[in-house]
A and B are shown apart, each in its own frame.
Chain A
Amino acid sequence: MTESIRTEETIAPVPVKNKDKKRSTLKRRENWTALAFISIKYVGLIIFTLIPVLFALLYSFTDYYARMETEPFITRIDDLWCGFDNYVQLFTHITYGTAFKNAVVNNLIFLCSVPIGILLGLIVAIILSHDDIIRGSRIFRMLIYVPVVSSAVAMSIIWRYIFDNEYGIINQLTGWDIPWLTDNGWIKVAIIIKSSWGSIGRTMILCLAALTSVGRDYYEAAELDGAGEVTKFLKIAVPLISPTLFYLFCTGFIGNLQAYTDAQVFANGHVGAQTIVYYVWNYGINRSLYGVAASASFVLAIAIMLITLLQFKISDKWVYSE
């Protein structure tokens, strides 16, 4: 007891104020260190994303024709400010407007490839999920997934050879004379086929994972109730993998609306294949009309947000959640 008292006397307690100060200094140092680490990410985000977005927004309200400009954009904003003119012209202008409307229509048509690709991918996943039926299904999985990790440009060039009007494999083998790459309508069909094929691998791998995670007991219970294969698939498998399907639909629509390679490389800029992103490239980078291009990109961004919101709204009615 005495010792303990002695100890208390010899080791004087640290004053409360000093302790707090030390802690706070340490904490501040920790905070700064943490901030330094995460700032790399944020600086990148600010410089390469936020500021360009801000500039694009400003461009969209100006009549900036880069080819003829020699002074920094910032110093020219007042002179070039045109309010919402670019946005109005996107829908009304005889050249920019017509081309934009064509791009919008093309984009909407190309969206067909999303459900087609998901349906095909799902069918492949169902087939490959039956290891007992398909021998070597792992090899098939790998082969079907290869396009997902292949270069989009390379794939487009290969598909160009396949669809070539004169020497393409399809026309040669079938004896058809379809102008796949030059006709306004057929080029859309070609792109839908190509895009649907391109999304099979991704859909297959995700659906396969979802299907294998569905518990056997659900199926066994359904079998006891006399359910057939189709009923089991529609009433058990589809609802339980619906979150995966919803994810595929959402990301598929977003990716499809941002399509560019098909228009540029596969279709070589054919009018029947031009998408909104191609339009942004064509009017912004190729023709230097930054204002028109920037406004088109914002319209696209808003459209993507609205479509995604709509999908979330509709998802309440068909996506299963526990």
Chain B
Amino acid sequence: MKKRNLFTVALTCVIGMTALAACGPSSGGSVTKPPETDPDSWNSLESGKTVQITLAGRDVDTERANYLQFVNDFNATHDNIVVTLEWWTDGTAYNIALDGMGKNLPDVFMLNNIMFTSFAASGKLANIRPYVDESILDDMYVNGYEVYYFDHETKTCGITEDAGMYGLPKDQGPVALAYNEDKLRDYVARYNSTASDADKIDIDRVMSVSEPMTFDYFLEIGKKLKTVLGQDEYVCSGYDMQSVIYSNNANYFTDDTARNQAIDTENFAQAIEFVQNMYKEGILPAAGTVSSGGETVFSSGRSLFYFSATGPWKTKDYWQTCDFTWNIAPVPVGMAEGAVSTAYIGGMCYAISNNCPYKDAALELVKYLSTDITSQRTQYKRGQCIPNLISLAQEYATDQYDFIAMQTGKDDPCPTNRSVWIDVVDGVGGTKTDANGNEYTDKVTGRYRAESFTLDATWLNSLNQFMGGTTGSFGSFWEPKADGTWVNVREALAAYAPELQVALEENYDRLHRM
């Protein structure tokens, strides 16, 4: 009897384990090679039958409303494809859901840059390179799509002969320095009214779209404007660390393989010191004083500047929440040699599951959302993104009317300097040729977020925690120590560099052993 009971328990265990194992991701080809794909799945529309595909995405409700409209527009113009939208309002929950799906992903889904490498390397995404015409790409910014190529041999993102293309840009996510134009004009005038001529702030220089402010100039005007601020007001309520680092010709790694750290360089230290100086001078709110977040402070009109995640996707929300005129300028540039104003770019792409049985239909949807001129026009008018198409850039930059969902009571939809976002995506940070064939120096450009080059962002979170003083023995870079002194940035970064090096190598090894 005992033996029989034991057998029953063992049998139940085996059945249970098998059942659970079967619940996991279905088996597929080797992940060390480019993914194999079912050729028939690229011809599903030829039968003439109507196919149903799913589009999965995430973000706030205003974005969901936009995508419902885009999907309806697509369904109305495509007789044989029916798209259903699956939406997550919580980005973390969405990413976790994608992680847990294994290969059984939605037919088309939004995928952020940080997860792109791991998904592409593991063969979960369909290679669309053979099906995307060069003519389409000719009308797109290289900066906007090059990161969605992935070479399975070298395990790196970027355009190479052997690389597959695993996504088209949802948005190109350029960020910029946002400012409250009403308040800035008012406060500059207030300051200038009592300042000597030599001390006056040049408002045109602050708001210039072609000549970015330098770190030093930004600090200088910050100190001046601080003297005329009202209660609970700040000069700048947030900053984007990566844009600061990039704009001083520095980076976290020595090259795009992201294998060797570069945080112990002079340029990197100077960039971090700039941020530290903003805290020292009270230009940024003291650590911990703004619990509602820098963006809320800006959108409620309590700060003059905000350069964090102020990308085009914010416009639809700012139209609703900001009761003032706001605008954008290039992010400040550092003093290092070769430094160019460089904001981070990239955000999300539309990817197709390699398991999708209707890849041709899925690609139709992706092309519609990412490259169709009508769709792109609707998207920018809804404050969703800047156009992915070069041919729409001029129209976008100068469009004076007919913005859907625009804030009421304004003559021109903010930001009027929206060409800055185009400049960031279109920038090369060097010599460029204009439409007339004249060469000029490009002073504004963009670069992908650092996490886009690594398998995950653990290393970056650890570095940020170290600089924030929650780990390590140096304390926070952003507030004075008990004795009133501040952390020596160079010493601290040099001390942390070996740890970051190990983390990056581990990240690299994990990617390359797949």
Q: Which residues of B contact A164 (CB under 8 A)?
A: 291-292
Which residues 261-291 in B have Cβ within 8 Å of A in the complex? 287-291
Known interface pairs A65-B510, A68-B121. Does A95 touch B28 (Cβ–Cβ under 8 Å)?
no
Please tell me which stretch of B18-26, B42-50, B74-82, B206-214 contacts chain A, meaning at least 4 of its Cβ atoms lie within 8 angstroms of it.
B18-26
Cβ contact within 8 Å between A94 and B288:
no
Cβ contact within 8 Å between B291 and A182:
yes
How many angstroms from the CA of A288 to the CA of B117 in the assembled complex?
A: 14
**Measured between C-beta atoms, what is the minimum distance from A81 to chain B in Å?**
14
How many angstroms from the CA of A135 to the CA of B31 in the assembled complex?
A: 72
**Measured between C-beta atoms, what is the minimum distance from A25 to chain B in Å?**
15
Q: Which residues of B contact A1 (CB under 8 A)?
A: none
How many angstroms from the CA of A103 to the CA of B360 in the assembled complex?
A: 48
**Measured between C-beta atoms, what is the minimum distance from A111 to chain B in Å?**
20
Cβ contacts B77-106/A at 8 Å (1 or 0 each): 000000000000000100110011011000
**Measured between C-beta atoms, what is the minimum distance from B314 to chain A in Å?**
21
Interface residues on B, range: 35 or more
Q: Which of B24, B115, B122 contacts A72 (CB 8 A)?
A: B24
Interface residues on A, range: 35 or more
Q: Which of A43, A72, A179, A183 contacts B21 (CB 8 A)?
A: A72
Cβ contacts A67-100/B at 8 Å (1 or 0 each): 1111111110000000000000000001110110
Known interface pairs A166-B289, A166-B290, A179-B289. Does A71 touch B27 (Cβ–Cβ under 8 Å)?
yes
**Measured between C-beta atoms, what is the minimum distance from B260 to chain A in Å?**
16
Cβ contact within 8 Å between B471 and A286:
no
Known interface pairs A67-B118, A71-B27. Does A95 touch B16 (Cβ–Cβ under 8 Å)?
no
Q: Which residues of B contact A95 (CB under 8 A)?
A: 458-459, 462, 499, 503
Cβ contact within 8 Å between B102 and A70:
yes
How many angstroms from the CA of A70 to the CA of B103 in the assembled complex?
A: 6
How many angstroms from the CA of A69 to the CA of B292 in the assembled complex?
A: 38
Cβ contact within 8 Å between A271 and B288:
no
Cβ contact within 8 Å between B291 and A98:
no
How many angstroms from the CA of A271 to the CA of B468 in the assembled complex?
A: 10
Cβ contact within 8 Å between A73 and B288:
no
Q: Which residues of B contact A43 (CB under 8 A)?
A: 12
Q: Does A195 contact B (CB under 8 A)?
A: no
Cβ contact within 8 Å between B25 and A166:
no
Cβ contact within 8 Å between B27 and A54:
no
Q: Which residues of A contact B380 (CB under 8 A)?
A: none
Q: Which residues of B contact A235 (CB under 8 A)?
A: none
Q: Does A227 contact B (CB under 8 A)?
A: no
Cβ contact within 8 Å between B291 and A285:
no
Q: Which residues of B contact A272 (CB under 8 A)?
A: 470
How many angstroms from the CA of A182 to the CA of B290 in the assembled complex?
A: 9
Which residues 146-204 in B have Cβ within 8 Å of A in the complex? none
How many angstroms from the CA of A181 to the CA of B465 in the assembled complex?
A: 16
How many angstroms from the CA of A272 to the CA of B288 in the assembled complex?
A: 13
Cβ contact within 8 Å between A73 and B21:
yes
How many angstroms from the CA of A119 to the CA of B465 in the assembled complex?
A: 36
Known interface pairs A181-B291, A271-B465. Does A70 touch B122 (Cβ–Cβ under 8 Å)?
yes
Q: Which of B20, B456, B458 contacts A55 (CB 8 A)?
A: B20
Which residues 2-21 in B have Cβ within 8 Å of A in the complex? 9, 12-13, 16-17, 19-21
**Measured between C-beta atoms, what is the minimum distance from B300 to chain A in Å?**
11
Q: Does A107 contact B (CB under 8 A)?
A: no
Cβ contact within 8 Å between A46 and B102:
no
**Measured between C-beta atoms, what is the minimum distance from B337 to chain A in Å?**
32
Q: Which residues of B contact A182 (CB under 8 A)?
A: 287-288, 291
**Measured between C-beta atoms, what is the minimum distance from B32 to chain A in Å?**
11
Q: Which of A46, A72, A94, A179 contacts B502 (CB 8 A)?
A: A94
Q: Which residue of A lies closest to B287 (CB)?
A: A182
Cβ contact within 8 Å between A69 and B16:
no
Cβ contacts A257-296/B at 8 Å (1 or 0 each): 0000000000000011000000000000111100000000
Cβ contact within 8 Å between B292 and A288:
no
Q: Which residues of B contact A69 (CB under 8 A)?
A: 25, 102, 122
Q: Does A152 contact B (CB under 8 A)?
A: no
Known interface pairs A46-B13, A287-B456. Does A102 touch B470 (Cβ–Cβ under 8 Å)?
yes
**Measured between C-beta atoms, what is the minimum distance from A40 to chain B in Å?**
12
Which residues 458-476 in B have Cβ within 8 Å of A in the complex? 458-459, 462, 465, 468-471
Q: Which residue of B lies closest to A179 (CB)?
A: B288
Cβ contact within 8 Å between A165 and B288:
yes
**Measured between C-beta atoms, what is the minimum distance from B13 to chain A in Å?**
6
Cβ contact within 8 Å between A271 and B470:
yes
Q: Does B124 contact A (CB under 8 A)?
A: yes
Cβ contact within 8 Å between A66 and B100:
yes
Q: Does A221 contact B (CB under 8 A)?
A: no
Q: Which of A68, A72, A75, A99 contacts B31 (CB 8 A)?
A: A68
Cβ contact within 8 Å between A287 and B458:
yes
Cβ contacts A166-198/B at 8 Å (1 or 0 each): 111000000001010111100000000000000
Cβ contact within 8 Å between B462 and A46:
no
Q: Which residues of B contact A74 (CB under 8 A)?
A: 17, 21, 24
How many angstroms from the CA of A182 to the CA of B291 in the assembled complex?
A: 7
How many angstroms from the CA of A321 to the CA of B455 in the assembled complex?
A: 58
**Measured between C-beta atoms, what is the minimum distance from B253 to chain A in Å?**
16
Known interface pairs A69-B25, A166-B292. Does A51 touch B13 (Cβ–Cβ under 8 Å)?
yes
Q: Which residue of A lies closest to B462 (CB)?
A: A95
For A73, A95, A96, A285, the residue with the greatest tally of chain B CB atoms inside 10 Å of its CB is A95
Q: Does B313 contact A (CB under 8 A)?
A: no
Q: Does B298 contact A (CB under 8 A)?
A: no
How many angstroms from the CA of A96 to the CA of B26 in the assembled complex?
A: 29
Q: Which residue of B lies closest to A52 (CB)?
A: B20
Cβ contact within 8 Å between A73 and B16:
no
Which residues 488-508 in B have Cβ within 8 Å of A in the complex? 499, 502-503
**Measured between C-beta atoms, what is the minimum distance from A181 to chain B in Å?**
5
How many angstroms from the CA of A94 to the CA of B12 in the assembled complex?
A: 41
Q: Which 7 A-B pairs have the closest CB atoms?
A: A179-B288, A182-B288, A165-B291, A271-B470, A68-B122, A74-B21, A72-B24
Interface residues of A (CB under 8 A from B): 43, 46-47, 50-51, 54-55, 65-75, 94-96, 98-99, 102, 164-168, 177, 179, 181-184, 271-272, 285-288
20 CB-based A-B contacts, threshold 8 Å: A50-B13, A51-B17, A51-B20, A54-B13, A66-B100, A68-B31, A70-B103, A70-B123, A72-B24, A74-B21, A75-B27, A94-B499, A95-B459, A165-B288, A166-B290, A166-B292, A168-B291, A179-B287, A179-B289, A285-B96
Interface residues of B (CB under 8 A from A): 9, 12-13, 16-17, 19-22, 24-28, 31, 92, 95-96, 99-100, 102-103, 115, 118-119, 121-124, 287-292, 455-456, 458-459, 462, 465, 468-471, 499, 502-503, 510, 514
